[in-house]
Amino acid sequence: MQAESSIFNANVSEMLNNGVVTKSDRMLQFVSKDDLMNSFHSVGNEISLLWNEFLMLHRANKTKILEFLRDTWASERRAEWSVWMVYSKVEMPHHYLSGFEESRPNSFNGKASTPKKLSGDLSQAAITRAELHRRSIAQMRINNRSIQDMHIFHDPLHVPVILVERVVNTPLRSGSGSSYFSPMDQKDTSSTPLETDGNAVTNLSGATKLRSGRMLKIVVFVHGFQGHHLDLRLVRNQWLLIDPGVECLMSEVNEERTSGDFREMGFRLAEEVIAFLKKKLEKAARSGGCKSIKLSFVGHSIGNVIIRTALTESVMEPFLKYLHTYMSISGPHLGYLYNANLLFNSGLWLLKRLKGVQCIHQLTLTDDPELENTFFYRLCKQKTLEHFKNIIVLSSPQDGYIPYHSARIEMCQAALWENSKKSKIFIDMLNNCLDQIREPSSSQRMFVRCDVNFDTSSHGRNLNTFIGRAAHIEFLETDIFARFIMWSFPDLFR
């Protein structure tokens, strides 16, 4: 032992002579090896004790810790992604009148009562606004020291610019709300309890005791014309990241059958949704029950028309009170009465004349000689939107497949100034849709329009970009726009 101590002190002396050990460490030469080893063991035990305490804390609070880390990550991403998002608020318009009545002077100086924002080409204005914002991005210094998604940050100028427009219903809004997504001051029905018996769902809103169990959250994804049931998988993946507990139905029932009557497609979707709901409710009944439902829908293109048609089916009526979020991606909610894309109109004419595609007749309101008897006019009169708590309509001014005003559920300038029966029918459809959104039957309703302006320069000049197909398909082939919107407002998707 003395020999080992001598060797240890000799090593310390050599380290002192070589400058490895400073003066503050000279005391080591007077410490025996046993004392030093005991000190190391003591420090090791203290570190082990602290580590075990940390592990116990982590195991006991792993959910809270993960939520904290997740919220921190989401907050940082929202701050970064806000570079490509522009926010604004507009008031819910009152009833539009026909072109003749709307253009009558409302004062002695002869000024028209037409809203100022309708005086120009809205789609071109949106493109110009997005391009100006894109130029401002080029002059920004983007932080490159944080963890970033290189799909977005490798070339910021090629990332979609999103114009987010919150439509507020002034008469029904709470006076105390000041945030961008302040809810309307209405009664909340989202927690209406359920009782399941395996075959039916019974409303127990008058019951004195709520049934225990979890919230059953279901999202139905519906593809568009000649689409595939996995077309919206990128949006589904983002939804699952935001809310891993959600149940997703990728609708297959109309795959390869989107050329027929919307009524048939809607009925098939309704049956598919009901079967899926019953299956999930039966599963929930075996594992503690289900206290309520949040039923959401996401549609692309004419999939949105199929969704709204399905909601008119009687089998869906018991579930209308549980509708939560509706995300419309480039959907023709007002049909094709007014469409400025002449080349696409020619394609529609060929599909009607040569192929006899029934849904195209319905989209263009040519399925009946009387416009009041057409499918689309009657669909807009039915209550298909008023039960949703959140309505988010995504459009793109570069999308030539869907009329810009139709995807946004807003006024078309041509219809506003045209004094004809067609314009009156269009304005009636628009007013009926806006009345449903304005209707205070659902609590905390949000109505948001999102303009997605893609960078199509990488596509080159080809037929797809010329006819507007590139932007229409871009909604399915990229999820950057979905990340921006969904992670910026995650409460709408939970």
Task: Kindly report, residue by residue over 348-379, the tens digit of the pLDDT.
Answer: 666 666 666 888 888 888 888 999 999 999 99
- Among residues 190, 186, 183, the alpha carbon closest in space to that of 205 is found at 190
Specify the 3-state DSSP secondary structure of 387. coil
State in Å, rounded, how far the first CA of the chain is from the last one: 69
Enumerate the CATH 3.40.50.1820 domain ranges in the chain, comma separated. Answer: 156-173+215-493
Q: Which residues of 402-439 are buried (b: 16+ CB within 10 A; e: fewer)?
A: bbbbbbbbbbbbbbbebeeeebbbbbbbbbbbbebbbe
Task: Give the CATH class of 156-173+215-493.
Answer: alpha beta
Look at 94 and 441; give whichever has higher pLDDT. 94
pLDDT at 384 > cutoff 80: yes
Task: Give CA–CA dist 370/360, Å, rounded.
Answer: 16
* Cβ neighbours for 102, distance < 8 A, ≥ 6 positions apart: 96, 112, 113, 114, 416
Among the residue ranges 29-33, 373-377, 380-384, the one predicted with the least confidence is 29-33
DSSP H or E stretch at residue 473: helix 469-477
Question: What value does the mean pLDDT take over residues 217-223?
Answer: 96
Answer whether 226's CB lies under 8 Å from 306's CB: no
Answer whether 371's CB lies under 8 Å from 365's CB: yes
Task: Give CA–CA dist 324/389, Å, rounded.
Answer: 5
Categorize the per-residue pLDDT at 250 as very low, low, confident or very high, splitting at 50, 70 and 90: very high
Could you write out the DSSP letters of every residue in 246-305? -EEEE--TTTT--SS-HHHHHHHHHHHHHHHHHHHHHHHHTTT-EEEEEEEEEEETTHHH
Could you write out the DSSP letters of every residue in 431-460? HHHHHHHH-TTSTT-EEEEEEEE---GGG-
User: What local confidence, expressed as pLDDT, does residue 113 receive?
Assistant: 41
User: What local confidence, expressed as pLDDT, does residue 110 receive?
Assistant: 40
Q: Write down the residue that tokens 């849709």 correspond to.
A: 433
Look at 112 and 420; give whichever has higher pLDDT. 420
pLDDT, tens digit (0-9, with 9 covering 90-100), for 34-79? 777 888 888 888 899 999 888 888 888 888 888 888 888 888 878 8
Categorize the per-residue pLDDT at 464 as very low, low, confident or very high, splitting at 50, 70 and 90: low
Q: Write down the residue that tokens 């078309």 correspond to.
A: 412
User: What local confidence, expressed as pLDDT, does residue 443 receive?
Assistant: 55
Look at 471 and 12; give whichever has higher pLDDT. 471
Among the residue ranges 28-32, 134-138, 261-265, the one predicted with the least confidence is 28-32
Look at 148 and 317; give whichever has higher pLDDT. 317
Question: What value does the mean pLDDT take over residues 85-103?
Answer: 73
Could you write out the DSSP letters of every residue in 88-107? EEEEPP-----HHHHTSB-S
High-pLDDT (> 90) share of the chain, %: 34
Look at 130 and 309; give whichever has higher pLDDT. 309
Specify the 3-state DSSP secondary structure of 161. strand
User: What local confidence, expressed as pLDDT, does residue 109 receive?
Assistant: 41
What are the structure tokens assigned to 37, written together? 């080893």
Alpha-carbon dihedral 134, 138, 144, 149, rounded to 10 degrees: 30
Amino acid at 394: L
pLDDT at 450 > cutoff 90: yes
- Determine the angle formed by the axes of helices 233-242 and 480-488, rounding to 10 degrees: 30
Task: Give CA–CA dist 180/165, Å, rounded.
Answer: 10
Look at 260 and 101; give whichever has higher pLDDT. 260
Question: What value does the mean pLDDT take over residues 463-485?
Answer: 83
Helices (H), 355-408: 358-363, 375-381, 404-408
Q: What is the largest CA-CA distance in the chain?
A: 114
Tell me the range of 19-28, 118-127, 133-142, 239-248 where mean pLDDT is highest.
Answer: 239-248
pLDDT at 216 > cutoff 60: yes
User: What local confidence, expressed as pLDDT, does residue 181 receive?
Assistant: 45
User: What local confidence, expressed as pLDDT, does residue 401 receive?
Assistant: 86
Answer whether 471's CB lies under 8 Å from 456's CB: yes
- Determine the angle formed by the axes of helices 303-310 and 262-285, rounding to 10 degrees: 70
Helices (H), 116-200: 122-138, 150-153
pLDDT at 316 > cutoff 90: yes
Task: Give CA–CA dist 184/437, Å, rounded.
Answer: 12
pLDDT, tens digit (0-9, with 9 covering 90-100), for 136-193? 887 777 665 566 666 777 777 888 899 999 988 744 333 333 344 444 333 444 445 5
Is pTM beyond 0.85? Reply is no
pLDDT at 240 > cutoff 80: yes
Question: What value does the mean pLDDT take over residues 101-109?
Answer: 42
High-pLDDT (> 70) share of the chain, %: 71
Q: Using DSSP, how many helices (H) and how many strands (E) does the chain show?
A: 18, 10
E-only strand ranges, 133-185: 161-168
Among the residue ranges 17-26, 130-139, 446-455, the one predicted with the least confidence is 17-26
Phi-psi region of 109 (alpha: psi -120 to 50; beta: other; left: phi over 0): alpha
- Among residues 301, 307, 322, 448, the alpha carbon closest in space to that of 382 is found at 307
User: What local confidence, expressed as pLDDT, does residue 94 receive?
Assistant: 77
Per the prediction, the chain carries an average pLDDT of 78
428 alpha carbon, distance to own chain's centre: 28
Question: What value does the mean pLDDT take over residues 453-477?
Answer: 77
Task: Give CA–CA dist 44/349, Å, rounded.
Answer: 81
- Tell me the Cα Rg of the chain: 30
Task: Give CA–CA dist 136/185, Å, rounded.
Answer: 37
Could you write out the DSSP letters of every residue in 3-32? HHHHHHHHHHHHHHHTTSS-GGGGGGGGS-
